[in-house]
């Protein structure tokens, strides 16, 4: 199963997983771990569309979505997975995903 590192301190949106090569393919997120270096709200997005609500984190706190076979959420077909930070604070961790077809 593919995974990607979460390693950003960029205020706003950063790419995590590139869009599938076809609009008939989609990304499914199976689990993630994030830890924040400072106070920040974190959310996942497909383009500018929110996939999760803002997850408020404070310094040295984190969130875990343990591995789930059925996944936590799916992206619309052909969309890239982005992470969005409300402030320029370091957020680190990893995310497991898979790609599927319709």
Tell me what pLDDT residue 59 has: 97
pLDDT in tens, 79-92: 999 999 999 999 99
What is the pTM (predicted TM-score) of this model?
0.94
Tell me what pLDDT residue 91 has: 98
3-state secondary structure of 12: strand
Tell me what pLDDT residue 102 has: 84
Q: What architecture does CATH give domain 3-101? A: Sandwich (2.60)
Ranges of the chain with pLDDT below 70: none
CB 29 within 8 A of CB 6: no
Tell me what pLDDT residue 78 has: 96
pLDDT in tens, 53-67: 999 999 999 999 999
CB 98 within 8 A of CB 23: no
77 phi and psi angles, rounded to 5 deg: -55, 140
């Amino acid at each position: 199963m593919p995974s990607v590192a979460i390693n950003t301190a960029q205020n706003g949106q950063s790419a995590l997983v590139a869009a599938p090569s076809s609009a008939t393919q989609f990304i499914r997120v199976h689990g993630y771990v994030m830890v924040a270096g400072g106070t920040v709200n974190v959310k996942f997005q497909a383009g500018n569309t929110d996939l999760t609500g803002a997850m408020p984190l404070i310094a040295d706190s984190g969130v875990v979505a343990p591995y789930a076979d059925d996944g936590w959420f799916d992206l619309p077909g052909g969309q890239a997975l982005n992470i969005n930070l409300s402030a320029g604070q370091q957020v680190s961790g990893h995310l497991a995903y898979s790609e599927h077809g319709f």
